[in-house]
A and B are shown apart, each in its own frame.
Chain A
Amino acid sequence: MAALLKVDSLGISFGGLKAVDKFNVEIEKNELYGLIGPNGAGKTTVFNLLTGVYKPTNGQITLDGDNITGLDCEAINKKGIARTFQNIRLFSQLSVLDNVKVGLHNNHAYSTLDGIFRTPKFRKVEKQMDERALELLKVFELEGYCDYKASNLPYGQQRKLEIARALATEPKLLLLDEPAAGMNPNETEELMNTIRLVRDKFDMTILLIEHDMKLVSGICDRLTVLNFGQVLKQGLTQDVLHDPEVIKAYLGD
């Protein structure tokens, strides 16, 4: 089976600094893949390259057979990559429901004029959007909060809402940037279940960055360890985590 995401010797330099160099990864469909590494290893830079925030200086990204190298954020999302952010980025003044409905924007369309004149099409599509958004919120047990302003949600729920919004764009690949950051052990446990649920329920392929080793060893099928912008180790989770070189990179000599 061909890999869903295939990244081939991806690299970017800022001035003379090679932030990421010769990064390779192949992610199979329906896989839960982890990207780990010490601080400053270039993990978020890889995410920014995959989602089009940065244009790679070399290398190639292929998603489901499509070459998506060098496209911008909007186009890459339409091709099927959605993401969450390390520091939560919600539409803070909009309601929880509307946050998800913005995610549904491109797949449920009516024109601006339909919106202004409240045509039957507007009503029909809005109703579909409401139903779909509520379905998604239900998966994350957020449907009771749907009329809250997003910024008024508790931290853990904000993380979940971000995932729900990303899923609303109907991606093929979901990128989670440190989903467990700032969570206590209980919340992390709950999050692990949620991520598993997302994979199974939506048949989703997930690539995540994480520092919490309990979460990584708990749910990831395979891992890539990044150090100083280069791949240090790649393979099955347990093998990688027990590798002496990886332990050295994290703990030092």
Chain B
Amino acid sequence: MDKVNVEKQKIFRSNLITFGMVIAAYIVVEVMMKTGNITSLLKGLLVPLCIYSILAVSLNLVVGISGELSLGHAGFMCIGAFTSATWSMLMKSSSMPEGIRFFFAILIGAVSAAFFGFLIGIPVLRLKGDYLAIVTLAFGEIIKNLVNALYFGVDAKGPHFSLEDSMHLNMDGGTIIIKGAQGITGAPKNSNFTIGVILLLIALFIVLNLINSRTGRAIMAIRDNRIAAESVGLNITKYKLLAFTISAAIAGVGGVLYAHNLSSLQALPKNFGYNQSIMILVFVVMGGIGNIRGSVIAAVVLTLLPELLRGLSDYRMLIYAVVLIFMMLFTSAPAFMQYRERIMTALHGKNKGGKEMD
């Protein structure tokens, strides 16, 4: 029982470090803001940093914990963004207090992204490996393109949809909310750094606790050996779908933050296209697959870096590439991993020699 408790404490401490890291970063930034030591460039990056961290955490649940390579995560972000922005636009003129409205926007974004994650997950999770990656990529693109063509308006008679143009909505007065490729303009700017950090902490809380529970163990067991998992009576479909749906919901929350951080929201390839999906995957891979804290660090470093290196103009992407290579080595090369393990054991002052059996 002692060893079990030691293991538990180790996990608890590791989770605490993750939360502590985020809170510490928040305090530092808040102090910098209060004392005016922050550039406007960095200030503009604060909310995106939270968004990308949340997305990286959410994708790591699918890629690292569930072991499925999904390339459609920007699609779920897109759904979260547009549903929540639509809600906020509808409720903008009502008497609902701003805080409560935004709270519901977050819920709506999460639930609708989860709903689509569930729907898409049913057929997609029957596939494996490369096939799954390709199909999720396709679904991501479909979502983005559909939203890009969608017209949506509300009048006295209720909601109107069209995929043609605003004339086909047959509106009788009322307001058009989603204007096809022009998207949504004028959504309230409710996102701020504090809310971003709180949502990131909630995402971390959900994912980390999920991993270290009965459900998480089942998900990881299925990842490690599907046939053995079936043989001990695990419901494969249920747990795969569960991981995918939770991940989609969290990605949807990232989308809500995104939508309420800009005055105009469009479904462009650079926002919600496959480039974005790949970017999120890069955060996950660079942070170490299955390493939740790593994805947050990678998302922050890799979002900040290109902006901070702007002054170096031509050398910017060169340095970015070098950093990518080093991060990959640091998180995934066996020699580095052993080195890190040695440092960790030295720090904990315990000799765990012989733990790796050759």
B133: Cβ under 8 A from any A Cβ: no
A168: Cβ under 8 A from any B Cβ: yes
A167 to B134, CA, bound (A): 39
Are B214 and A110 interface neighbours, CB within 8 A?
yes
With a cutoff of 8 Å between Cβ atoms, the chain A residues found around residue B3 in the complex are 143-144, 146-147
Are B231 and A106 interface neighbours, CB within 8 A?
no
Residue among B206, B232, B242, B355 making CB contact with A102, cutoff 8 Å? B232
B218: Cβ under 8 A from any A Cβ: yes
B37: Cβ under 8 A from any A Cβ: no
With a cutoff of 8 Å between Cβ atoms, the chain B residues found around residue A105 in the complex are 214, 217-218, 232-234
**Interface hits, A141-161 → B, CB 8 Å:** 143-144, 146-148, 152-154
With a cutoff of 8 Å between Cβ atoms, the chain A residues found around residue B205 in the complex are 116
B230: Cβ under 8 A from any A Cβ: yes
Kindly supply a per-residue 1/0 record for chain A positions 77-101, scoring 1 wherever the CB is within 8 Å of any chain B CB and 0 otherwise. 1100011010001111111011101
A109 to B231, CA, bound (A): 18
A207: Cβ under 8 A from any B Cβ: no
Kindly supply a per-residue 1/0 record for chain B positions 96-111, scoring 1 wherever the CB is within 8 Å of any chain A CB and 0 otherwise. 0000000000000000
A118 to B214, CA, bound (A): 11
A134: Cβ under 8 A from any B Cβ: yes
Are B357 and A77 interface neighbours, CB within 8 A?
no
A94 to B219, CA, bound (A): 11
A165 to B242, CA, bound (A): 24
B220: Cβ under 8 A from any A Cβ: yes
A93 to B161, CA, bound (A): 48
Residue of B nearest to A153 (CB): B357
A contact residues, total (Cβ < 8 Å): 53
A239 to B355, CA, bound (A): 47
Are A101 and B217 interface neighbours, CB within 8 A?
yes
Are A89 and B228 interface neighbours, CB within 8 A?
yes
B contact residues, total (Cβ < 8 Å): 35
B225: Cβ under 8 A from any A Cβ: yes
A152 to B234, CA, bound (A): 24
A14: Cβ under 8 A from any B Cβ: no
Are A77 and B233 interface neighbours, CB within 8 A?
yes
A157 to B76, CA, bound (A): 44
Interface contact tally, CB-CB below 8 A:
123
Report the minimal beta-carbon distance from A114 to chain B, rounded to whole angstroms: 8
A26: Cβ under 8 A from any B Cβ: no
With a cutoff of 8 Å between Cβ atoms, the chain B residues found around residue A117 in the complex are 209
Report the minimal beta-carbon distance from A66 to chain B, rounded to whole angstroms: 15
Are A94 and B220 interface neighbours, CB within 8 A?
yes
A125 to B216, CA, bound (A): 15
Report the minimal beta-carbon distance from A145 to chain B, rounded to whole angstroms: 9
A95 to B11, CA, bound (A): 13
**Interface hits, B55-99 → A, CB 8 Å:** none
A37: Cβ under 8 A from any B Cβ: no
A73: Cβ under 8 A from any B Cβ: yes
B40: Cβ under 8 A from any A Cβ: no
Are A89 and B213 interface neighbours, CB within 8 A?
no
Given A115-B209, A134-B1, A152-B356, verify A94-B224 contact (CB < 8 Å): yes
With a cutoff of 8 Å between Cβ atoms, the chain A residues found around residue B223 in the complex are 93
With a cutoff of 8 Å between Cβ atoms, the chain A residues found around residue B6 in the complex are 147
Residue of B6, B205, B217 with highest tally of chain A CB at under 10 A: B217
With a cutoff of 8 Å between Cβ atoms, the chain B residues found around residue A103 in the complex are 232
A97 to B215, CA, bound (A): 15
With a cutoff of 8 Å between Cβ atoms, the chain A residues found around residue B229 in the complex are 91, 102
B7: Cβ under 8 A from any A Cβ: yes
Kindly supply a per-residue 1/0 record for chain B positions 322-358, scoring 1 wherever the CB is within 8 Å of any chain A CB and 0 otherwise. 0000000000000000000000000000000001110
Residue among A102, A114, A154 making CB contact with B357, cutoff 8 Å? A154
A78 to B231, CA, bound (A): 9
A102 to B219, CA, bound (A): 10
B149: Cβ under 8 A from any A Cβ: no
Are B232 and A95 interface neighbours, CB within 8 A?
no
Residue among B206, B215, B224, B355 making CB contact with A92, cutoff 8 Å? B224
Report the minimal beta-carbon distance from A151 to chain B, rounded to whole angstroms: 9
Residue among A83, A112, A129, A144 making CB contact with B231, cutoff 8 Å? A83
B275: Cβ under 8 A from any A Cβ: no
B4: Cβ under 8 A from any A Cβ: yes
Residue among B1, B225, B355 making CB contact with A89, cutoff 8 Å? B225
**Interface hits, A98-144 → B, CB 8 Å:** 98-99, 101-103, 105-106, 108-110, 112, 114-118, 122, 125-126, 129-131, 134, 143-144
Known: A74-B234, A78-B233, A89-B228. 14 other contacts (CB 8 A): A53-B227, A92-B225, A95-B7, A98-B217, A98-B220, A101-B217, A102-B221, A105-B232, A105-B233, A112-B242, A115-B215, A126-B213, A154-B357, A166-B231
10 residue pairs, one from A and one from B, having the closest CB atoms:
A115-B213, A77-B233, A73-B230, A89-B228, A91-B224, A102-B221, A91-B221, A112-B215, A116-B209, A89-B225
Give residues in A with beta carbon < 8 Å to B: 51, 53, 72-74, 77-78, 82-83, 85, 89-95, 97-99, 101-103, 105-106, 108-110, 112, 114-118, 122, 125-126, 129-131, 134, 143-144, 146-148, 152-154, 165-166, 168-169
6 A-B interface contacts by CB (under 8 A): A89-B231, A90-B225, A115-B216, A118-B209, A129-B214, A144-B3
